[in-house]
Structure 1
């Protein structure tokens, strides 16, 4: 294979993010560069430049001029466009001072002479702490984890398959196959890494050249995070439709900034962790809105955000190849499974989907189908990762997109949602404090399997009903299909102690339930879909079910979206406690905020977005239609949430 062809192939494979490939030469030679103004021959640019501060870079080639400008054009998410001048011309090339602000990443190197410019090659810039670590046989990745100029010992390093720990000098060696094309660290407690547009840089991309030992260093920054809070954001679904960007900025961004400031004012470290579906694959190309555009919406946030991949974060133009379909995600947001330590809590991020996308190909979106499953490779990796957590009382928080268990019935019954949920439970069995937090469903529910060490928190969506109810001409509220307000979960940690709650966007943290006076809940087409034609008005009774008939039984319905089996409920009328029953019903506010708004414009509600039965509902009967009720809900942390319910209580889209 000639060196010109080698350069083209290597560059293409690197650009595509392919992890398991090899190139036989350490350097790649570009073709000779010729146009009317530029003639450069014998160009030779290393595939990787390992640089320390104040280093010069050598570009081999003949024909450079002193006035030439060298541009470093970003070719990866971490790179930044910069330019440099030639400092010295030599017989076989030039030397340039590396731009002082150059970041690690992939670059196209472009030479400009006057008004003419020409691509002369591609390289990866890699910042190194110590370039003189000796090689070791069969060790293909090496490096140093350091802080304040000194190595940090006992940091865990992995490539998604094998593990290593740093020695007393912060040095590690990894026998990586480079299958995944990256290496990452488990950020240790009381440290942080730098962020790029909110994304923590705990990972380094590799060239994937199996014959070459690569250096991957990681810098840590001290951070006292034993007392911290993490906000979990499920199903953001940004796509530049339904006025989602305005709702996101004016609602979510404003709200989460306030939440972060609340904790930061208490000297608590604050972090974000998405739960997948940051984007919406169906609109990657139709609306030209992809993961990069999602990240740009976060630019004003001042805290790190770790990420989970969701089924809508894969490239829909890639069919029948989970690995390639996730390449854009990995190149921008990093590995799809990894772990971090924040304070005394061990957080594990997993990818529990196998994306298939049957018939997907360039220019054509496929079926976007997938299996709900954890690969054996991940389960093996997880077992190794947890083996480093020797104290089995350590809180373990597992974050992934697809739920482990299904939405429960009114009796609390549930099934496995993920195909191999028992296998995950088995790997986690040695720990006595395990929380699994998931998204995907756009609803809230909590599952505590009998006799299990696991509690699953399935979290309502930031996008609620995919941004529909707040869209222009709709209900001007933000509500999910189970009646939960669109929002996110907040978990506070102080040592091993954890406190959790669901935070509705635009609401105080104490807003944890909504009450309905069913005497006033009568949903008709005339009242809630007056503009619908006769055909669509006729559909209303089937859509709203029991609410189509006036109910004068003095019943009260509570929707408690964060409910767990160990919560307490008190409903008092004139000081007397009313009995209540857990029921599975549709939330009436969501019915009039989405389903009936669709009927109102002569359109059917999309089945995936329509109101569903939920079992965090509780029904009681009062003795009078006008009595005032005192309602108190107490969570398992002892927090009490109260409403004085004055009846009759109004029922409309702006109610609380």
Structure 2
């Protein structure tokens, strides 16, 4: 010790000279020139370390008996071992302090050499590797990699449902092994290391758990697994690969003799359960990763829940493509996502969403680098599950084959058709677009055309799936393209080629509701051929493909509906619904137009005249020539049979007539400003939910009342003249 103190008294006097003549600082490391004792030593200028860590130093000229000392405000001797002339190892003493800079001093007899200096960040463990996802099994070992773990440590696993304290089962130089307790749930999990009074957060991962049960092989079966709740197998759950359907046995085991055509398997969610959720995506399916001849085990977890009463949001045609001004995904985030998260992320009851397709826009997948993964990220803040159907624009535009073009969808979103029981409602999601995409090839976008039809394989699967559903169960079917169109107020035409074939699958079911998108308008149609089938075609979240915010400051669909979604309130088997315009109260269900003012706009507005004269809006100058003096239009966006519209003027009830007309607000928000200099795509369309009344004068006030099929009453006291402008 006396020798050590003698050396230290001169160390401070020599340090400056040593660093000038013997050190070179690169910013990350200190390099020592050919020195008196050793050479070719590299010391990092900063290090993450733990107490008791063995630190190796490489160099030339180490000798047996060499000792390391760490110098700062206090001087610490370190246990040292010289393995060879090229390697010295010393152990960091427990007295090292976090954030201090220590000089590394080599002692040899009466001589010494400063090898360099390093700022030490002292942690419990270092080099921790915790991936974004961790797959494990209840009661089975899991591993977190890192250096410095001790058997006396405690791992604290924090989840939304509570915390779990876990004692390691094994520790080595590179990892800690622990057993997943039975009470741990799947989902976002944060691991913290506790050692006495000290703690260190190791990171957060998405935990995916399965049972440790081994499902026995069966001859000819290529997919097997268990459906369970916290490790307990659940019998009679349906499992499918998109071609075959089977049921779990009394142990919750299932087997499928699958050709793995769809490269996945999924469960048909039974009533009384949920599946885990990962960033708004329900985890009801798993990909196949082995070839068709090799059996693989795919397990599914269910979570008991009470969801007979729930809210189902139905949204469609988001068309996110990283385009327009403001950018579509910015409009989406500021409008739809902001509203949905504010209203439903902390909602008291169970909430789900059906996404009816055209989540993306195939034309811009590659040019704008915005495809299905980016769309998924745009809704990951939803605190509820989004169950999706595939739209025509969700296909790979480089592929001229329907099944192959669906591959990215199956990879990122799951099966293109499937079913689930949520409460007492049986939901089915189908794919009614057959992508042809002539000219598509690797690196080349095809014409992106498609047929509106249900494939034979899908219909065969649907017929088999419905065998397991009681005929009295209400059915809700989600698909992208509508079954029917209007070609006039009372003229319904078929929009999908094999409507009769798909609807005949539901023979004997009492209540079948199709919810569809694609058209970007609101329409509600009773099937003319199947009395048990009612279709609700829902307007688009994107409005007119995100154009009208730029032109007019509002987001509006081609039928005059505000961009929005439908809210279904489900109590047991009873369903009620309302359309909801984004940024509008749900009490707003219609728009009124003083047609005197609209006709004046058509005749005098300068921009309108430029658009009419451009040739881009042929005959549109004549849109309202047939409209009489003092007429008022009422566009009831979600009108359907059973609604009642009454209008009074000075206490006198006026006759209400349903008319087949274009919506004026959409025209001035899109057709006219775009038509001034551009050819017109997505123009205003004729719609069946506009109603007309004729007042006795231009200045009277009209009292308007609209009552929906569930008895909700929506009113407006319309003071006239009412200005006409691009504003809801």
| TM-score normalised to structure 2 length | 0.71
Residue 596 of structure 2 aligns to a residue whose secondary structure is coil
Q: Which runs of 4+ in 1 moved over 4 A?
A: 49-54, 86-89, 94-101, 530-535, 538-541, 549-552
Decide whether the 8 Å contact of 2:356 with 2:480 is kept in 1: yes
Change (3 A) 1:53 1:294: farther
Give the Cα separation in 2 of the matches to 1:257 and 1:293.
Answer: 18
Partner residue in 2 for 1:627: 700
Instruction: State the superposition RMSD in angstroms.
Output: 3.0
Which of 477, 485, 497 is equivalent to 2:562?
Answer: 485
Structure of greater relative contact order (alpha carbons < 8 Å, 6+ residues apart): 1
Decide whether the 8 Å contact of 1:130 with 1:144 is kept in 2: no
Give the Cα separation in 1 of the matches to 2:359 and 2:532.
Answer: 30
Bigger CA radius of gyration: 2
Tell me by how many angstroms 1:258 deviates: 3.4
Give the Cα separation in 2 of the matches to 1:180 and 1:575.
Answer: 64
Change (3 A) 1:223 1:528: farther
Query: How many correspondences in the alignment?
Result: 548
Change (3 A) 1:136 1:539: closer
Tell me by how many angstroms 1:644 deviates: 1.1
Which of 669, 675, 678 is equivalent to 1:599?
Answer: 675
Decide whether the 8 Å contact of 1:521 with 1:551 is kept in 2: no
**Does residue 618 in structure 1 map to residue 691 in structure 2?**
yes
Decide whether the 8 Å contact of 1:528 with 1:596 is kept in 2: no
Give the Cα separation in 2 of the matches to 1:630 and 1:393.
Answer: 42
Partner residue in 2 for 1:521: 598
**Does residue 227 in structure 1 map to residue 309 in structure 2?**
yes
Give the Cα separation in 2 of the matches to 1:397 and 1:528.
Answer: 48
Decide whether the 8 Å contact of 1:569 with 1:631 is kept in 2: yes
Residue 394 of structure 2 aligns to a residue whose secondary structure is coil
Deviation string for 1:395-438 (max 9, x for gaps)?
A: 1000000111113511x221110000011110012211100010
Which of 378, 390, 411 is equivalent to 2:458?
Answer: 378
Decide whether the 8 Å contact of 2:616 with 2:680 is kept in 1: no
Deviation string for 1:248-289 (max 9, x for gaps)?
A: 111111221234258x23xx2101111100011111111111
Which of 457, 469, 473 is equivalent to 1:389?
Answer: 469
**Does residue 494 in structure 1 map to residue 534 in structure 2?**
no
Give the Cα separation in 1 of the matches to 2:387 and 2:561.
Answer: 24
Give the Cα separation in 1 of the matches to 2:364 and 2:253.
Answer: 44
Q: How does 1:126-165 map to 2 (within 5 A)?
A: 128-165=210-247
**Does residue 568 in structure 1 map to residue 650 in structure 2?**
no
**Does residue 460 in structure 1 map to residue 539 in structure 2?**
yes
Partner residue in 1 for 2:151: none
Partner residue in 2 for 1:291: 372
Residue 494 of structure 2 aligns to a residue whose secondary structure is coil
Partner residue in 2 for 1:199: 281
Change (3 A) 1:504 1:590: same
Decide whether the 8 Å contact of 1:489 with 1:503 is kept in 2: yes
Give the Cα separation in 2 of the matches to 1:531 and 1:636.
Answer: 41
Give the Cα separation in 2 of the matches to 1:508 and 1:404.
Answer: 30
Deviation string for 1:432-469 (max 9, x for gaps)?
A: 11000100011110110246101100110000000000
Change (3 A) 1:525 1:519: closer
Residue 184 of structure 1 aligns to a residue whose secondary structure is strand
After the TM superposition, which of the residue ranges 426-435 and 164-173 deviates more from structure 2? 164-173
Partner residue in 2 for 1:12: none
Q: How does 1:60-459 map to 2 (within 5 A)?
A: 128-242=210-324, 243=326, 244-260=328-344, 264-265=347-348, 268-318=349-399, 320-390=400-470, 392-410=471-489, 412-450=490-528, 452-459=531-538
Partner residue in 2 for 1:15: none
Give the Cα separation in 2 of the matches to 1:527 and 1:183.
Answer: 59
Which of 592, 613, 620 is equivalent to 1:543?
Answer: 620
**Does residue 507 in structure 1 map to residue 578 in structure 2?**
no
Decide whether the 8 Å contact of 1:594 with 1:605 is kept in 2: no
| TM-score normalised to structure 1 length | 0.78
Partner residue in 2 for 1:588: 664
Decide whether the 8 Å contact of 2:417 with 2:430 is kept in 1: yes
Deviation string for 1:338-371 (max 9, x for gaps)?
A: 0011100000000111111111011110010111
Give the Cα separation in 2 of the matches to 1:633 and 1:651.
Answer: 21
Decide whether the 8 Å contact of 1:435 with 1:454 is kept in 2: yes
Question: Tell me, which stretches of 5 or more residues in structure 1 are unaligned?
Answer: 1-48, 58-65, 68-85, 105-124
Tell me by how many angstroms 1:146 deviates: 0.9
Change (3 A) 1:495 1:169: same
Tell me by how many angstroms 1:168 deviates: 2.4
Residue 493 of structure 2 aligns to a residue whose secondary structure is coil
Give the Cα separation in 1 of the matches to 2:351 and 2:273.
Answer: 13
Residue 312 of structure 1 aligns to a residue whose secondary structure is helix
Give the Cα separation in 2 of the matches to 1:354 and 1:539.
Answer: 32
Give the Cα separation in 1 of the matches to 2:350 and 2:555.
Answer: 28
Deviation string for 1:295-315 (max 9, x for gaps)?
A: 111122111101111010111
Question: Tell me, which stretches of 5 or more residues in structure 2 are unaligned?
Answer: 1-134, 149-169, 188-206
Change (3 A) 1:53 1:594: farther
Change (3 A) 1:136 1:534: closer
